[in-house]
Amino acid sequence: DRFEIITFKNAFHGRTMATISASNQEKMHHGFSPLLAGFKYVEFDDLEAAEAAITDKTAAFLVEPIQGEGGVRPASEAFMRGLRDLADKYGFLLALDEVQCGVARTGALYAHELYGITPDILATAKGIGGGFPLGACLATEDAARGMVVGTHGSTYGGNPLAMAAGNAVWDVVANDEFLENVRLTGDKLRAAIEQFIGNYPNLFKGVRGKGLMLGIMMTQESRSFVAHLRDNHGLLTVAAGDNTLRILPPLIIDDSHIATFIEKLSAGAADYAAAAS
């Protein structure tokens, strides 16, 4: 009898009918109406709003521990722990979308480890295949008890090449040494960005994120700057919500790559600011 899922504003969960419906972003809804029923949107990182949205129809929370498309916005520890507590209190599931923030991206194997919680369901993709198309849904035995033979299938599910790619990635990333290097490199990259953006207060406001999932908050719309960096300086970044410049480098970068990035970013900011003045 429980069919409602509480999701959070500015989230991105994918482009199936269900995951489009799970997001409150109208730009994604265009052309796909009517949406699927059963989703309720509340403000991200607002625990009181999340609890207020709970009814006897609530089946789960669905949340990104760090919103990617929404602007590289990490949830607070109080929020994530609070969602876990509420799900336990009211007897429903906590589902995490770690497609962007999982597989060592934050310096933890999965971002929920940074918050000291365990989800009931976890979606993982992107990094898990190291560039090869691969996604997986993890669940506790209790949460998965309805997923019996015949309830779900996929044409390419479990294909041997994808499984081999996933195993190869896991052999590299699932160890303390690799994760520690991601954390250290992330700290160096963040420090370099923070030092740099002080030179352009009219362009940048700050940095947020964890590990090698960082966002530079801009004072203006970020998409044109992304295009400028790509077209004029050969630097690939990506725009995100809340006027954010998303920085998602390979997890194996070293100091030389950070230096090259800052050099190109600095050159791009200089002529971009000059053109705007």
Instruction: Give the catalytic positions in this structure.
Output: 12, 97, 126
Q: How many CB atoms lie within 10 A of CB 52?
A: 11
Task: Give the strands of the sheet with 135-139, arranged side by side.
Answer: 39-42, 4-8, 58-63, 93-97, 121-125, 135-139
Q: What gap in Å lies between CA 222 and CA 79, rounded to an integer?
A: 28
Report the run of H or E that residue 188 belongs to, with start and end.
helix 176-197
Structure tokens belonging to residue 157:
């599910």
Q: What gap in Å lies between CA 183 and CA 189, rounded to an integer?
A: 10
- Smallest CA-to-CA distance from 225 within 188, 190, 175, 275 is with 275
* Residue 105: partners with Cβ closer than 8 Å, 6 or more residues away: 111, 127, 182, 211, 212, 213, 248, 251
